[in-house]
Chain A
Amino acid sequence: MSTSTRSGLSRISLSTSLPVVALVVVFLVLTASQTANALPAFARKYGLRCSACHESWPMLNYFGQKFKDNGYQLMNDRDAPIWQNPGYWPVTFRITPIWHRVSTGKVQVDTYTNGAPDGGQSIQRVTSSGFDLSGLDFHTAGTLEKNISFYLLPSSDSTGAFHFEQVFVRLDNIGGSPWLNLKLGRFELDNLLSEKRILTLTGNGGIYQTYHFIPVGDGNIFGQIGDNQLGFEYMGHSVNDRSRISAALISSSDGNVNLSTGANSYTGFFTGSQAFDTGKLGVQRIGFYAMYGEAATYYLTQGSVPLGGSGISNKGFSREGFVGQFYFGPHVDLTVVTQHGSDNPWFGQGYGNAIATDGNGGTTCTGVGCPPNNVPGSVLPVGSQSPTWNGYTFEGHYVYSPQLIFIGRYEAERMSQQANGPTSANPSASNLGNISTYTVGFRYNPFMTSRAGLAWHNEYNWLHQDGTGPTLGLGTVNLNTSELLMGLDFDF
């Protein structure tokens, strides 16, 4: 930008003043918000601050995990709803007005000559920025009676289109034993590093890539352990929650309702962990998880259109990994999640999602480019093999105080075997689909009460994926995207 003209100078003055004005506005908003007095569901029930259960809201700390494992109960004989004021309604709203800038490194776009399409295409970076909204979460949760807990979370996208993100009833401490808890509904799998309580909000940084990784061209969407799933869960833990185990039987539907997949496709998800007292360092926890499932690859068709709910010809998949939560004193912690994933070769060739479900209800694909359907007589291409990969997530926090947390995350997804092997007619590059992503940010809560939550959220995410950019026939191209986000994340 030139600075030699008056208009140029004005633009610079404006552009350089804007951040200062924005900071002043943010400061005024934050300092003026001390009087907020709305009521988060659990904090107001028990008179505890958010920080009692959350490392930084919504991420749970150990005490919060124990509270959750006890069925949203403190086990102090004040857990049944009868103890609450009759006007108490266990509800919390959460939404985040944001400003963000999204930049995608390589996008294939049309080219024009003299105002008309010339039939050509080019690759260029596309950057968008502006003010925006997150979706709305409408959390209602608590106890129906002593040792019967529930969760209901109608959730919308930023346009206001709602779905049921989480719905379950849980029978807690059956027979007085913390080792016997049963849950039925749509719920988050028992991931120690919870994606539904993630501290980051950007498009790529707001999820754990390790929890959602799908090889390029793979049709198995059902192994995403980060998505809420429909099923039944057994969970048990020791009184102080040092030892935890769980086993869930879920439909291989990636949480989609209305029996949209098959009749006999189920997945098992198993976890176990043990915590250790390490004195001043804190409580360390190590554990494992394993997911073994089958999902349909053939959907009966009517007029060549796959019929939802008719899936058969199941094929297998698996996800296994270790989890470690390590504390290095009161301020620093690191969580590590690993994953080894494997899909049946049929999934690797794109079969498995012929009805193109999207995780929240789904729509049946009827146009060109729909996922393939394993109709009778289908054969795998020569050289097909099981896609396998390894994933790693490292997330560290520096907790300056309960009101200020710095977040850093690195994730790597590395293919160890491509679906199109060396003997395939079109073998894949060994690194096709590999992902590396970094996320950094901080959340500052200007106040900390038992009544409401407000966080000034700042985050930057950068994601790199090998070989998935548009090529225009020039060979494999890597794709880089980045997002800068600032917002006010509030709940009440």
Chain B
Amino acid sequence: MRTRLQTWSLLVGATAVLALPMTSWAQLTQADFEPRLSMESHIGNITGHAKDAKGDYRRYCVVCHGENGDGNGESFPWVDPKPRDFQLGIFKCRSTPTGTLPTDQDLFDTIARGMDRSNMPQWSTFTKQERADLVAWVKHFSPRWVGEKPGTPITIPPEPEVTAERIKAGRDVFARVQCWKCHGVLGQANGPSASTLQDDLGRPIAAFNFTEGARPKCGDTDRDIYRIFMTGLDGTPMPSFADNIKPDEAWDLVFYLRTLMKQKSKEKQMAKQLGLKPVDPNAPAGQQ
């Protein structure tokens, strides 16, 4: 009697001790995405595997992006901007033309760079392999990656020397394509359309304020800024201006945008020396 009681107690106890914690992986993999768990990413000579990233995703990402990658994690109600819905396969930061899928490298860079002015930190602590695995994991949420290829990255010509003329020309581009309608004539995100902006899901969204010292979401080098307005930020009201701005003009605009930013720059210094005035929304075309 004694032996049986003790044995059963031990068995029940040990089973409970071992079984209870084992539930901690239970809800991870969703049946809908399982067929795509073989998704890969290719970053240089590194191949990322979606199936190897589920642990990291669960540990670091799921709280915002959700178990199903739909951006509906537990922090969704509290964070703004809202987390990306990976199921849509639409991404802001791309080197590819608007409407196309980003390259694996784009997603790889975004993970490490983070998203300034959002809750997305710089996940630069991963190894490159771990990041590549996470890229594949992000891709496995959307069927777009099965049927479509990423777009071809846009060509960015070499950056020319900044001159006063180029800065002034950039101001003309700023006026002509009406950047000021959202970003404001001083870049303060207070243009006439600023308060009406919504993302593709109908959620209010703010234009980038050049003057508060923040880094642009998709990178803060001159090439990054060039890329942002030539590819657009898909899913947001920021369109691609690839059809409206010639490559040479695009560099002029980059130089002008630098004059609006809080950070010190030679463009800002040159604009000050020039006594460059903000755009006048009411000025006739070509007469800024």
Q: From residue A280, how far is it (CB to closest CB) to chain B in Å?
A: 5
Please measure, in the bound complex, the distance between the C-alpha atom of A77 and the C-alpha atom of B59, giving whole angstroms.
23
A47-B63, A47-B75 are contacts. A277–B127 as well, Cβ < 8 Å? yes
Size class of B's contact patch? 35 or more
B74 contacts A76, CB within 8 Å? no
How many A-B residue pairs lie within 8 Å, measured between CB atoms? 136
Q: From residue A90, how far is it (CB to closest CB) to chain B in Å?
A: 16
Q: Is A217 an interface residue (CB 8 A)?
A: no
Kindly supply a per-residue 1/0 record for chain A positions 16-45, scoring 1 wherever the CB is within 8 Å of any chain B CB and 0 otherwise: 110110011001001000000000000000
Q: From residue A274, how far is it (CB to closest CB) to chain B in Å?
A: 14
A47-B119, A450-B75 are contacts. A401–B12 as well, Cβ < 8 Å? no
Q: Is A115 an interface residue (CB 8 A)?
A: no
Q: DSSP majority for the A interface? A: mixed
CB neighbours of A365 from chain B (8 A):
none
Binds A, one of B35-43, B50-58, B248-256: B50-58
Q: Which of A9, A48, A280, A283 contacts B125 (CB 8 A)?
A: A283
Q: Is B121 an interface residue (CB 8 A)?
A: yes
CB neighbours of B56 from chain A (8 A):
330
A402 contacts B59, CB within 8 Å? yes
CB neighbours of B121 from chain A (8 A):
46, 48, 63, 67, 74-76
Please measure, in the bound complex, the distance between the C-alpha atom of A3 and the C-alpha atom of B4, giving whole angstroms.
13
A23-B13, A444-B21 are contacts. A52–B124 as well, Cβ < 8 Å? no
A63 contacts B117, CB within 8 Å? no
A76 contacts B117, CB within 8 Å? yes
Q: Is B120 an interface residue (CB 8 A)?
A: yes
Q: Which of B9, B114, B128, B214 neighbours the largest number of chain A CB atoms within 10 Å of its CB?
A: B9
Q: Is A425 an interface residue (CB 8 A)?
A: no
A47-B79, A279-B129, A400-B24 are contacts. A76–B119 as well, Cβ < 8 Å? yes
A48 contacts B63, CB within 8 Å? yes
Q: Is B64 an interface residue (CB 8 A)?
A: yes
B122 contacts A76, CB within 8 Å? yes
A78 contacts B118, CB within 8 Å? yes
Q: Is A137 an interface residue (CB 8 A)?
A: no
B9 contacts A66, CB within 8 Å? no
Q: Is A278 an interface residue (CB 8 A)?
A: yes
Q: Which of A17, A77, A279 neighbours the largest number of chain B CB atoms within 10 Å of its CB?
A: A77
CB neighbours of A281 from chain B (8 A):
127
A75 contacts B16, CB within 8 Å? no
A17-B9, A277-B127, A401-B25 are contacts. A77–B64 as well, Cβ < 8 Å? no
CB neighbours of A449 from chain B (8 A):
63, 74
Q: Is A239 an interface residue (CB 8 A)?
A: yes
User: Within B1-46, which residues are at the interface with A (CB < 8 Å)?
Assistant: 1-2, 5-6, 9-10, 12-13, 16-17, 20-22, 24-25, 46
CB neighbours of A442 from chain B (8 A):
21
Q: Is A322 an interface residue (CB 8 A)?
A: no
CB neighbours of B123 from chain A (8 A):
63
CB neighbours of A99 from chain B (8 A):
none
Closest to A47 in B: B75
Q: From residue A487, how far is it (CB to closest CB) to chain B in Å?
A: 14
CB neighbours of A74 from chain B (8 A):
114, 119, 121-122
CB neighbours of B120 from chain A (8 A):
76
Q: From residue B201, how far is it (CB to closest CB) to chain A in Å?
A: 19
Please measure, in the bound complex, the distance between the C-alpha atom of A277 and the C-alpha atom of B116, giving whole angstroms.
25
User: Within A404-453, which residues are at the interface with B (CB < 8 Å)?
Assistant: 404, 442, 444-446, 449-450
CB neighbours of B126 from chain A (8 A):
283
A403 contacts B24, CB within 8 Å? yes
Q: Is A13 an interface residue (CB 8 A)?
A: yes
B64 contacts A51, CB within 8 Å? no
Kindly supply a per-residue 1/0 record for chain A positions 66-106, scoring 1 wherever the CB is within 8 Å of any chain B CB and 0 otherwise: 11000000111110000000000000000000000000000
Please measure, in the bound complex, the distance between the C-alpha atom of A77 and the C-alpha atom of B127, giving whole angstroms.
24
17 new A-B contacts, CB < 8 A, other than A27-B16, A47-B119, A402-B58, are A3-B2, A9-B1, A12-B2, A12-B6, A16-B9, A20-B13, A30-B20, A46-B119, A47-B79, A74-B122, A76-B115, A76-B122, A280-B129, A283-B126, A403-B24, A404-B24, A450-B75
Q: Which 7 A-B pairs have the closest CB atoms?
A: A47-B75, A403-B24, A240-B124, A74-B121, A444-B21, A279-B129, A401-B24
Q: List 14 A-B contacts (CB under 8 A).
A: A19-B13, A20-B9, A24-B16, A47-B119, A49-B63, A63-B125, A78-B119, A279-B46, A280-B130, A330-B56, A331-B55, A400-B21, A402-B58, A450-B74
